Amino acid sequence: MFAVVDTGVRFRVAGHIPEFWNALDGGIEPQMLYTSEDGRTGLPLHPEPCGSTFVIFARPGGLHVT
Protein backbone atom coordinates (compact mmCIF):
# COMPACT_ATOMS: atom_id res chain seq x y z
CA MET A 1 0.00 0.00 0.00
CA PHE A 2 1.34 3.43 -0.96
CA ALA A 3 0.64 6.62 0.94
CA VAL A 4 -0.03 10.01 -0.60
CA VAL A 5 2.55 12.59 0.45
CA ASP A 6 1.67 16.27 0.83
CA THR A 7 4.75 18.34 1.53
CA GLY A 8 6.36 21.70 0.97
CA VAL A 9 9.64 22.07 -0.90
CA ARG A 10 12.18 24.90 -1.19
CA PHE A 11 14.58 25.49 -4.06
CA ARG A 12 17.64 27.73 -4.24
CA VAL A 13 16.05 29.80 -7.00
CA ALA A 14 14.71 33.35 -6.88
CA GLY A 15 13.07 35.59 -9.46
CA HIS A 16 11.53 32.81 -11.56
CA ILE A 17 8.07 31.24 -11.73
CA PRO A 18 7.93 27.52 -10.82
CA GLU A 19 6.29 25.26 -13.41
CA PHE A 20 5.39 21.57 -13.27
CA TRP A 21 6.36 19.70 -16.44
CA ASN A 22 4.62 16.42 -17.26
CA ALA A 23 7.05 13.99 -18.88
CA LEU A 24 4.25 11.77 -20.22
CA ASP A 25 2.23 14.29 -22.21
CA GLY A 26 4.55 17.33 -22.40
CA GLY A 27 2.11 19.51 -20.47
CA ILE A 28 3.30 22.54 -18.52
CA GLU A 29 1.46 23.95 -15.49
CA PRO A 30 2.62 27.31 -14.11
CA GLN A 31 2.31 27.36 -10.31
CA MET A 32 0.75 30.45 -8.79
CA LEU A 33 0.92 29.27 -5.17
CA TYR A 34 4.52 29.81 -4.15
CA THR A 35 6.66 32.01 -1.91
CA SER A 36 9.95 33.68 -2.63
CA GLU A 37 12.23 34.86 0.16
CA ASP A 38 15.91 34.85 1.10
CA GLY A 39 16.90 33.73 -2.42
CA ARG A 40 14.69 30.63 -2.26
CA THR A 41 11.37 29.64 -3.77
CA GLY A 42 8.97 27.45 -1.79
CA LEU A 43 5.84 25.68 -2.98
CA PRO A 44 3.51 22.86 -1.92
CA LEU A 45 4.01 19.52 -3.63
CA HIS A 46 1.43 16.72 -3.89
CA PRO A 47 2.95 13.84 -5.89
CA GLU A 48 0.93 10.77 -6.78
CA PRO A 49 2.00 7.45 -5.22
CA CYS A 50 5.03 6.14 -7.15
CA GLY A 51 4.96 9.34 -9.23
CA SER A 52 7.45 12.06 -9.92
CA THR A 53 7.30 15.76 -10.66
CA PHE A 54 9.65 17.93 -12.69
CA VAL A 55 9.82 21.46 -11.30
CA ILE A 56 11.31 23.90 -13.79
CA PHE A 57 12.18 27.59 -13.32
CA ALA A 58 12.42 28.76 -16.95
CA ARG A 59 10.30 31.95 -16.98
CA PRO A 60 11.37 35.07 -15.12
CA GLY A 61 8.90 36.21 -12.50
CA GLY A 62 7.43 39.65 -12.01
CA LEU A 63 5.19 40.99 -9.28
CA HIS A 64 3.81 38.09 -7.25
CA VAL A 65 1.26 38.53 -4.47
CA THR A 66 0.97 35.76 -1.89
Residue-wise pLDDT for 3-56, tens only, equals 777 889 999 999 999 999 988 898 999 998 999 899 999 999 988 787 788 999
The answer to the question of residue 62 being in a domain is yes
Q: CA-CA distance, 54 to 52, in Å (whole number)?
A: 7
Give me the domain span that covers residue 57: 17-37+53-66
| Other Cβ atoms closer than 10 A to 53 | 14
Q: Is 63 a residue whose pLDDT tops 70?
A: no
pLDDT on residue 29:
92
- How many folded domains does the chain comprise? 1
pLDDT on residue 4:
76
Burial track 6-45 (b if 16+ CB lie within 10 A, e otherwise): eeeeebebeeebbeeeeeeeeeeeeeeebebeeeebbbee
pLDDT on residue 16:
93
